[in-house]
Structure 1
């Protein structure tokens, strides 16, 4: 009798322990993109390892608020979409903007032409037209505006869009050219009016503009394509004394103004100028940055400096691409290989060569986005959404790679691994999410996490190495062991409790 009672007690204890263990299991959804062929593929079965590392989430400790993720509406992309069949055009737009697709939430476009335009053009074609009475966005109505409007129709959640000028019309500049030169002081007010009229013109087309960067790459681009130069203090002067007051006077004071808009290595001198005092800070809502100083190095010290200088201001990565390359067509493996180079591999001075190694395209995107999120960046925007097999069209022949490549002559579409890499972030980390604290015991894994407004948590893990890895993911008192493939990116979605 005693034996029976003792056995019954053991059985009861065993059952209670089993139930407790089940309650401790963290419920997750796992999606993986990998060199082995996964493309946002749901992963459900994991082998267990005793050598698993640990990733511990601490949602109580929050960092920056997410503005969004996305890409740029360029004339090049819009032009190509119009050359495709209606079926493929719709397929691409839905892939980027629908909730079933990447669900882009933050986008950029160019004001006047840029290198990824079919030709040079300006909204202010009449020389000396200081009042901009002949302002027109007619050039955008065939390709660019239809692309934006179709994206709006495909997006259930909507998205923010900010404009960036590459240059004013040549007649407003001291060199009277599309490339280089500076805005003449006598046209500062006309140029501020240009921004206000742009908002009105797009509003008339049914498109709301969220904000602007003041100037794309104010340090110049080697005098190759559309550009206009500012020093940090010149841009601050233009914003504080012209652009900001003009938008405010026109009832557009809620539009976001982002300063700088170029590479991170010079970030300190620009935020020092923008946020020198309350007067200079007043009209700047944040700072925009690019990654071309290095698509390998994140520049965490510069990003942290910018955040600490103005903790309540936005810090948005506004442009990135694998440049100086023509796309590799329908060869997913190439995008995971360390064969791609950027402009600096050939052209950077010797002291900067280490910043421009041969590096896998997927690795560039995954490492940079995670690195940015872990260093106070709140938005990350890719460059062209669609390019052709040559890496264009681009009037300067400044070729690069986009996440989606098309062959308009054959009406074929290729979703590269870069598309899925972007979707790992844009689809699962939503606007107004809060980046949260994590502890990660494996330095070979890059990890970031954010808590969404609906209470779900998205964890993104990147394994750059050549071997698969196991890790225990813990939240509060619940844990699950997950295996990530070699050369793989995972998003782990933890539903709202």
Structure 2
């Protein structure tokens, strides 16, 4: 099929044919903080919503437009132009060119996110969670859950801080889990029309398991893969799954550890556990894989790397070329930091073509992490474009899902014990019992709301030169989703 872009989309962030806005959704209550666009203000009784969606009549399309001027998923409709020879740009969707299927989109329930959400009144909490997880909201289906503390915690801890406790007899969840993250995850699951795909990532092993005797800095597991420390660390993962299962929370996947390259850096400032690709390969083959296989959770997916994509394809070559490790692995998890340093075709494309049986999945991204552009910027449209560009680029290079970082932060970009403040799609003002939806929230919405699990990327091409970025999909209901970004 071919469709002509209406002129109103020349300033579009997103454009999605085949969906239409239902009645009853609310308009954004816009507020400016002096940046290049606005935020949408929400409280316990009101928040704008994209609403539920239904398909338009055959031969028509429905669009959603977000732009710097303040449109937020603004609905429109039109007639699909088939084989048009009129003036303007033509995009041709080639449905027989089929690529990867979508898993989902979401964010992370860090300690900081949980603290901020729970700082609101019960009514405002409900509004916030509905924005992310309900059918009226933007349809998040993935939630990344840190195993114990990370930089977005208020203090350092693991679940097994008793020295030499190799059998993990003293393994225990903390109040951050029991009183905050778990109740919020249960609430989010209750709001979601589909089971949430929970993803677990550990930042550091207990200090007594590590070569440097600390949760931070340069340090790896003592001994070698197959040894008692490596086996105990694998059992730590099993115990985590067991404890969360007691609260009826089961995990779709776990990663082999957050940013293993960080634990190889001298004086690294927050929690990390160093692994080389060779060490990760052997730990999966000898310890983690067998432990999962023998547990009550043999179908939990294992994602390697969980680090910046610039480490690909080398990391994948080392780990996935080993048949003993490869049989326990399902995918490769990537972070978005430093994406500009390595073309997606080299890192993601090459990895996919070498190992097509393993999927690629984005597990962390945020803006405001760079020292030159630090912290929260309420209303930044430039940051929304950064998100949309990276997601489209990843999807066009075989990535099956994209997970944002903190679901919610305060106005300073925390709390964060190491003062590593960043931005978030939702910023909470607890003093006034309100929260702001950033432009990045709507960037995420253009993907998470419309690309259902099982949607399949298909071919799409432009007639003539264009600076637009785009990606096309066919959903399980046979409708077409076309997402377009104009950064110029």
Place the TM-score, normalised by the shorter chain, in its bin: 0.7 to 0.9
Q: How far 1:45 moved relative to its partner?
A: 6.6
Which of 82, 85, 91 in structure 1 is aligned with 2:127?
91
Which of 18, 31, 36 in structure 1 is aligned with 2:69?
36
Deviations 1:323-348 (A, max 9, x none): 2422123xx3xx22xxxxxxxxxxxx
Return the index of the structure with the highest Cα Rg.
1
Task: Work out the CA distance in 1 between the residues paired with 2:240 and 2:205.
Answer: 13
Task: Work out the CA distance in 1 between the residues paired with 2:342 and 2:76.
Answer: 31
The alignment status of 1:183 with 2:221, answered yes or no, reads yes
CA contact (8 A) 1:316 1:379 kept: yes
CA contact (8 A) 1:362 1:417 kept: yes
Deviant stretches of 4+, over 6 Å: none
Residue 356 of structure 1 corresponds to none
Residue 146 of structure 2 corresponds to 110
Residue 393 of structure 1 corresponds to 415
Q: CA RMSD in A?
A: 1.9
Residue 445 of structure 2 corresponds to 423
Task: Work out the CA distance in 2 between the residues paired with 1:190 and 1:102.
Answer: 39
The alignment status of 1:289 with 2:325, answered yes or no, reads no
Task: Work out the CA distance in 2 between the residues paired with 1:243 and 1:40.
Answer: 43
Q: How far 1:455 moved relative to its partner?
A: 1.3
The alignment status of 1:169 with 2:206, answered yes or no, reads yes
CA contact (8 A) 1:295 1:368 kept: no
CA contact (8 A) 2:281 2:322 kept: no
CA contact (8 A) 1:298 1:372 kept: no
Which range moved further: 217-226 or 384-393? 217-226
SS of equivalent to 2:325 = helix
The alignment status of 1:78 with 2:114, answered yes or no, reads yes
The alignment status of 1:440 with 2:482, answered yes or no, reads no
Correspondence 1:136-147 to 2 at 5 A:
136-139=172-175, 140-147=177-184
CA contact (8 A) 1:275 1:309 kept: no
CA contact (8 A) 1:164 1:215 kept: yes
User: In structure 2, do the counterparts of structure 1 residues 138 and 44 end up closer, same or farther at CA, with 3 Å as the change threshold?
Assistant: same
User: In structure 2, do the counterparts of structure 1 residues 286 and 328 end up closer, same or farther at CA, with 3 Å as the change threshold?
Assistant: same
Q: How far 1:71 moved relative to its partner?
A: 0.7
CA contact (8 A) 1:70 1:426 kept: yes
Q: Identify unmatched segments of 5+ residues in structure 1.
A: 1-23, 337-359, 466-497
Deviations 1:344-365 (A, max 9, x none): xxxxxxxxxxxxxxxx211210
Residue 201 of structure 1 corresponds to 243
Task: Work out the CA distance in 1 between the residues paired with 2:146 and 2:158.
Answer: 11
CA contact (8 A) 1:70 1:105 kept: yes
User: In structure 2, do the counterparts of structure 1 residues 98 and 25 end up closer, same or farther at CA, with 3 Å as the change threshold?
Assistant: closer
SS of equivalent to 1:44 = strand
The alignment status of 1:275 with 2:320, answered yes or no, reads yes
Which of 374, 382, 388 in structure 1 is aligned with 2:396?
374
User: In structure 2, do the counterparts of structure 1 residues 411 and 163 end up closer, same or farther at CA, with 3 Å as the change threshold?
Assistant: same
Residue 404 of structure 1 corresponds to 426
Q: How far 1:297 moved relative to its partner?
A: 6.4
Deviations 1:266-302 (A, max 9, x none): 1111100121143231111110011111368652221
Which of 137, 141, 145 in structure 2 is aligned with 1:101?
137
Instruction: Give the TM-score of the pair, scaled to structure 1.
Output: 0.81
